Structure 1
């Protein structure tokens, strides 16, 4: 039986320990922020507590914290620190700070809010970095025409440098690849060749473009040229990108060859993140032995971080190795005193993904028995399992639990939540639908406009639509993320 997660590992106690850590040689602000691995933990109380203890934080330290959080994809926490810089410390934001905040707002709050922030920035502060961040935001949301307008402005700017412009070209390359703009992609690559933008980074972006569009022949031709060109520096990313291309088209034998090459070129401080990436790629091609081998390498790099455990559990789930995942979970439970709700979440998802709903229920039951109350995100994962296997009555019941136990600033998984709303509407269970939507409104999960539309929808006042389409704006869902009518979205 899996060891039970100790009751002290709840969200509130974790936050309190972070705020009231005694002053020790390892008690640095960076240490406190790093330990707040759960992305829902707010950064502002941690920063304010540090100041109340009579300590100070300089501009460069805050920039470093934001950079580290972005690297770990803890975007909401990074944005909180960015806003604290100006709101609480009244620090003057450099253009790089503004560009970073713009990018984070796009990731956390959506494109409209990012554009609104950009428009609020004084004209004198809108340099190449800020416009480049706006380009990233438009590209993230597949807004091709607006991205092209910004790119045109960047090309015309006299203040840009070649390296910055190359980065912007890379953003456009990915956008064209992702949105299937083949003619524009070819024209852009031709333009880059004419401008002699053919360094290692550019060529890797071209490889990525070929990989995304499944143009394996051109990808292989370009790689072959790069391998014999001694002026080109190949690194782990070069072969990792090629592996993605092979994985996408199911050529796993070729993917294995280039993954081995990628592994031989791993260097520098980012080793842990690279090895975590390799875990998921080896799992994608079904190489369980390599997954465990990389896992042991990760553990040798000054221990395994929570993010590494998450990558390993996800990899074992993809390999249908639930026994192995349970062993890794036990190891995490016995060796970590700082709770990270994402790890139980991944385990619940692993059970559900593999059709083990009884095991998922039993695991959630053990957690509930020990802690008395569970984070809404765990209930949300279990609800997704019921949705995936068409037990919609249980999905609705569990989604209600998720909403009631949800933390501030959280939203339920849109595809499951939308399916639950549709199910209640079909069953004409208006009372329950209004109760759940009312709770969502009280907790601020949705905008007033979306709430009003959902109410009208369940009352039958809006036709020829579904709940997911009504949630699109609040979740910043792109068209390419929306399933076709009747199609289920299974993964989280």
Structure 2
């Protein structure tokens, strides 16, 4: 279970449709709300309501009842900010309040944003209903792209193909964006021939490739370990005067070369990425990405060098410290991780359990379980809350140290905290169950009831060694 080092190429390619969506609908980078400005008090009232079950509409109504100004541009900036923090339900509430309660004219762009948010919050069917129920004058290119993006996200090839054909007939398939979305869909489905078909169609219709077009195709070549294909697309990006690769595009190229084992070609691309990290407007992201990339390449000196550059150029937040500690973990450098952790503590930033979680992981891997336990206790005293991964790390550590009773208790906590769309480490689960088979029958039955309740039973019975579980199943 690779928690700390996700594949950067995978992250970029999987989110390509969302990036293209933002690229199209945001003509400029969304500005962060200036929280020092007193006029931003509305966002300050909305921001603490992190629970999606709590509606922000009463806050908006109260703001208007106080006679305070309500400007569409400011509400739109709040929507963007909420989306950035994946607070889609609250963003949708603000969007609807803006157009339904304040009677601000509904534009096609508003419709497209609402389609995207409705899909996030209520699912595809409701997003389709929104699209079908708006007037024809609001159902232009933007709205069609929004619905196509929903189909791509759902990997609904049949519906996406039908909508794409409709867009061709309406004259909306005259730019790279719909083709890029379709390419991203078929890349995710493993239909590489479709990528070439779409690119050939673009050429036939005189539609120029953009960086997204090429990075999707390059990602597919890299996933297939096609070194010639990766090289071909990289050269196309270099020689096309209309394409100016940004940091993200170079990141895909670099990771593509690394995937096919061409380190000598990846390093010059990494040098360009470092240059762009200083000049790009992407903030902290380039430095976090470079740290992960160099760590994955096992280039410790480069990790340390990028970290120094990071500290000089950016004000490092919790995520930056977590990334650096995770990078050092790939080298087994516990002393280095402890030093970064002490630096983070000295900064007095908001307590984020993800930061000590990296050190807990390191301690568990190294068998320093008392230190891990002490760090959890300290985090709890600071008001932090351990994650499911925290308890999985502890369970693995206890298993390695033959403290099976503690491992079982840690695994119970992990399962209870595991989000609905995540599954526990099957190896850890089965190891605990194997030890239970030789131990306390009562505890075993209690644990099996828990994994049944949490819909994890099928994971356990996959292992043929779990005879006592299957025996219990046949008797139940």
CA apart distance, 1:335? 1.0
- Structure 1 unaligned segments of length 5 or more: list them: 1-22, 441-453, 459-465, 470-483, 487-492
Provide Cα deviations, 1:389-440, integer angstroms capped at 9, x if missing partner.
Answer: 8677645422433566x59xx54842348975996698574444546776x7
- The answer for the alignment partner of 2:8 in structure 1 is none
Say whether residues 1:277 and 2:326 are aligned partners.
Answer: no
> Relative to structure 1, is the Cα distance of residues 181 and 326 closer, same or farther in structure 2, using a 3 angstrom cutoff?
same
1:414 correspondence with 2:423 = yes
Runs (5+) with no aligned partner, structure 2? 1-34, 465-476
CA-atom RMSD in angstroms:
4.3
Residues 104 and 31 of structure 1: CA distance in aligned 2, closer, same or farther (over 3 Å): closer
1:292 aligned partner: 304
The partner residue of 2:204 within 194, 205, 210 is: 194
The alignment status of 1:320 with 2:332, answered yes or no, reads: yes
Does the C-alpha gap of structure 1 residues 95 and 336 become closer, same or farther in structure 2, counting only changes over 3 Å? farther
Count matched residues: 411
2:160 aligned with 1:152, yes or no?
Answer: no
| Counterparts of 1:395 and 1:137, CA distance in 2 | 42
**Runs of 4+ in structure 1 displaced over 6 angstroms?**
33-36, 38-43, 421-426
Who is 2:125 aligned against? Answer: 115
Q: Label 1:230 to 1:324 Cα distance change in 2 as closer, same or farther (>3 A).
A: same
Classify 1:135/1:302 alpha carbon distance in 2 versus 1 (closer, same or farther; 3 Å). Answer: same
Q: Could you tell me whether the CA contact under 8 Å between 2:75 and 2:94 is conserved in 1?
A: no
Question: Are residue 129 (structure 1) and residue 142 (structure 2) matched?
Answer: yes
In terms of Rg, which structure is larger? Answer: 2
Kindly state the Cα deviation for residue 243 of structure 1 after the two structures are TM-superposed: 0.6
- Determine the C-alpha separation between the residues in 1 that align with 2:226 and 2:143: 33
Residue 92 of structure 2 is matched in structure 1 by: 82
**Following the alignment from structure 1 to structure 2, what is the Cα–Cα distance between the partners of residues 386 and 419?**
7
Asked whether 1:254 is paired with 2:265, we answer: yes
Q: How does 1:60-459 map to 2 (within 5 A)?
A: 60-71=73-84, 74-75=85-86, 77-86=87-96, 90=101, 94-104=107-117, 113-121=123-131, 122-124=133-135, 125-158=138-171, 160=172, 162-163=174-175, 166-201=176-211, 202-266=213-277, 267-352=279-364, 359-368=371-380, 370-371=381-382, 375=385, 377-384=386-393, 386=395, 394-402=406-414, 411=420, 413-416=422-425, 420=429, 429-434=444-449, 454=455
What does the per-residue CA deviation read over 1:50-101, in whole Å, with 9 as the maximum and x for residues that have no partner?
9399555533223323434545xx31x2442332442598356644344345
Q: Within 2, Cα distance between the matches of 1:349 and 1:33?
A: 36
C-alpha change, 1:333 and 1:103, in structure 2 (3 Å) is farther
Distance 2:340 2:155 in 1: 38
Scaled by the length of structure 2, the TM-score of the pair is 0.70
1:434 and 1:187 map into 2 onto residues whose CA distance is 51
- Check whether the contact 1:380–1:399 (CA below 8 A) recurs between aligned residues: no
Contact residue 352 and residue 360 of structure 1 kept, 8 A: yes
